[in-house]
Amino acid sequence: MFLSYNGNMTILNVIATSHGTDSVAGREAITLIREQIKFLLAQRNDGMEYRVHAAYVDVESPSVDDAAASLPKDEPCVIVPILLSTGFHTQVDLRRAARNSGIERISIGESLGPDARLAALTRARLEEAGWTPGDGPVVQGAAGSSRADGRADMSRAAELLAEELHVPVHHGFVAAIDPKFHEVVAEHQPKFAATYLLAEGFFAGKMRRDAESTGVPVKVAAPLVNAQGGASAAVVAECFIDRMDAAIAQLDAA
């Protein structure tokens, strides 16, 4: 097995990698997710010492490249994204960091979504905003990806939300990628829009502005996690742990 021992404990370095943001509220929410990850891992009684390291793909530091490069080369490591969908960051940035790290045993976890638990969390945010099933179809907005696999993830996330809500869900992107969020809102005239973003930041603000620009009286629900939302952060942390365990299995299989 890939174990690296520290006394009677087995060390595993876990690089919990988020996007990064200038938003104070967004940073607090991501910090809360990492705290929940550490809390859940501390409950395990599996002889493992999980060392959780913060890293980012943009805006904040340390970068995932620097975080990976700083770790002992003989200790196993998994890089797990705190990112909702597959995209450039998961398929390029994280792979580059792993490849250049020099770590002997390293693997990469998949994105948090699509996941039915995230769809349920999205519903909770919509209900907080006042949505009820009688309000009809919803538009779900996301940041967007230039990659086809990232766009496919978003399509699946919208399908899961539709299954959760039992109403049609249309999706659109805030970035300059089709289908564009503001165009989908203008076309479908929803009363509510779901925010498929983890936390406050640039894209959450742009989503609200884009919705307002349409002239449609649509209410945009909050992102999935906020600094006061311990329960929502725990849901995201549970998804993260599942992706981490799958990445550990890759190490075992190598």
Where residue 238 sits, what CATH number does that domain have? Answer: 3.40.50.1400
Say what the pLDDT of residue 8 is: 53
Range of the domain at 21: 5-112+229-253
Query: Do 12 and 85 fall within a single domain?
Result: yes
Query: Do 188 and 244 fall within a single domain?
Result: no
Query: Do 133 and 40 fall within a single domain?
Result: no
Query: Do 162 and 191 fall within a single domain?
Result: yes
Query: Do 98 and 124 fall within a single domain?
Result: no
Tell me which residue of 148, 247, 104, 130 sits closest to 193, measured CA to CA.
130
Query: Do 171 and 196 fall within a single domain?
Result: yes
Given phi > 0 = left and psi -120 to 50 = alpha, else beta, which region is 201?
left
Query: Do 74 and 17 fall within a single domain?
Result: yes
Say what the pLDDT of residue 254 is: 65
Say what the pLDDT of residue 230 is: 87
0.85 exceeded by pTM: yes
Query: Do 106 and 182 fall within a single domain?
Result: no
C-beta separation of 193 from 185 below 8 A:
yes
Query: Do 69 and 44 fall within a single domain?
Result: yes
The number of folded domains in the chain is 2
Radius of gyration, CA atoms only, the chain = 19
Say what the pLDDT of residue 228 is: 79
Query: Do 202 and 133 fall within a single domain?
Result: yes
Geometric angle at alpha carbon 71, from 66 and 47, rounded to 5°? 140
* Spatial CB neighbours of 66, under 8 Å, sequence gap ≥ 6: 55
pLDDT along the chain (254 residues), means of 10: 53 97 96 98 94 97 98 98 91 95 97 98 98 97 91 96 98 95 98 98 97 98 88 98 97 77
